[in-house]
Structures are given as C-alpha cells and as structure tokens.
Amino acid sequence: MALALGAGSATAAAATNEATPSAASSYAAEAKAVGLSARQAAQLQDRVNARLADIKVPAEQVGYNEIRAKDGSARITLSVPGLAADTSCTYEYLCLWDGANWTGTKLSFTVCAFRNMSDYGFVDRLTSYKNNQTTGTISQFYNWEGTWVYKFGSRAYHTEDSLANTPWNNMIDGIQVC
C-alpha cells in the first residue's frame, strides 16, 4: 500500500514540476551554451524529468541540469556527459556524489535535519562526499537494516572522502545533516 501511495505521489510531483514552455526553452539555451547538441540537451532533460518523478519532496527544475527542493534545503545537480564534473561544495553544505572522486550526480544539503535518501532518489548510491558545513559540524551516515544503523560520521570543515573502496560504498540510506 505504501509503495502504491509513494508512486502516486511521485507521479503527482512530476506533473506539478514540469517546466513551463519558457523555462524549458531557457534550459535548452543553457544546455546549448555549455556545448550540448539539441539531442544531448533533450536526453539530459529526459534525465531531469525522470529524477523529478523519482523525488518524494516538493522540487522544481531551476537550471538545465539542476533541481532544487522547493524549501531550498537541497539541490540535485545531474552530471553532464562530456563536461567536467561539478566537484565544488558550497560553504555550509554537505555534498554527496554517486560517483568516485566527486563525480556523477551531486546531492547537496544545507539545512540541519535527518534526510532519507529515498526521498531524493539517492538510496544506496553514495560513493563520495564533502562536508563543507561550519567548523565542527558533524553529519552522521546510516543504513536501513530494519532500523537506522549508524555507519560513520563526518566532521566539518571541508572533510571529504571517497567511499569507493570501503564497505559503505553504495550503502547509505539516511543522513543526519549537522
């Protein structure tokens, strides 16, 4: 029952998050400006739309490859084939990547709260991260094993790590940000 409700919520969220025609043309222009062909831009837009449909929190597209939670607490930046990965992490953010060495899709959080990665389509996908929150801030990483099980913590300022060769690679399901 919960699965059916979640799928319906995601579908409803996708319907309300579709870009308006003027926004869509603006995103296409952004994609063209970074060197994507019309076909590549359309493929990227399909990935953005699929991600919007997968997200369980209210969100909207705000750039050709970027989605933001409507409350501003999180951003998802999709990787763009042929372009260098966005390895930056804004001050006061915890940034997560699904690729090794800060590559692939990036999920960034700025508000202190527990985050279930399934709400962002990021469950079991964490491979590298940067903790660029205020000095001394600790984020805690959990796996769902019938209950939330603590795996490790990260103390800011600017702690970064790749989990590619650790037991935690593609395992984390929840994070206590801050």
Per-residue pLDDT, averaged over 106-111, amounts to 95
Q: Does 6 fall in a domain?
A: no
Q: Is 30 exposed, middle or buried (0-12, 13-18, 19+ CB in 10 A)?
A: middle
Q: Check whether 16 has a pLDDT greater than 90.
A: no
Q: Does 108 fall in a domain?
A: yes
| pLDDT tens, residue by residue, 42-86 | 999 999 999 999 999 999 999 999 999 999 999 999 999 888 888
Query: Across-strand partners of 60?
Result: 68
Q: Check whether 40 has a pLDDT greater than 50.
A: yes
Q: How confident is the model at residue 124 (pLDDT cuts 50, 70, 90)?
A: very high
Check residue 82 and give its pLDDT: 83
Q: How confident is the model at residue 9 (pLDDT cuts 50, 70, 90)?
A: very low
pTM of the model: 0.81
Identify the CA nearest to 95 among candidates 120, 71, 70.
Answer: 120
Identify the CA nearest to 171 among candidates 138, 148, 139, 137.
Answer: 148
Range of the structural domain that residue 158 is part of: 84-178
Q: Which residues contact 152 (CB under 8 A, 6 or more apart)?
A: 140, 141, 168
CATH of the domain at 153: 2.60.20.10
Query: Across-strand partners of 139?
Result: 154
Q: Does 13 fall in a domain?
A: no
Structural contact between residues 55 and 14, judged by C-beta atoms closer than 8 angstroms:
no
Domain count of the fold of the chain? 1
Q: Does 51 fall in a domain?
A: no
Q: Does 129 fall in a domain?
A: yes
Q: Does 94 fall in a domain?
A: yes
Q: How confident is the model at residue 17 (pLDDT cuts 50, 70, 90)?
A: very low
Q: Does 151 fall in a domain?
A: yes
Q: Does 103 fall in a domain?
A: yes
To the nearest whole percent, how much of the chain has pLDDT over 90?
61
Check residue 91 and give its pLDDT: 93
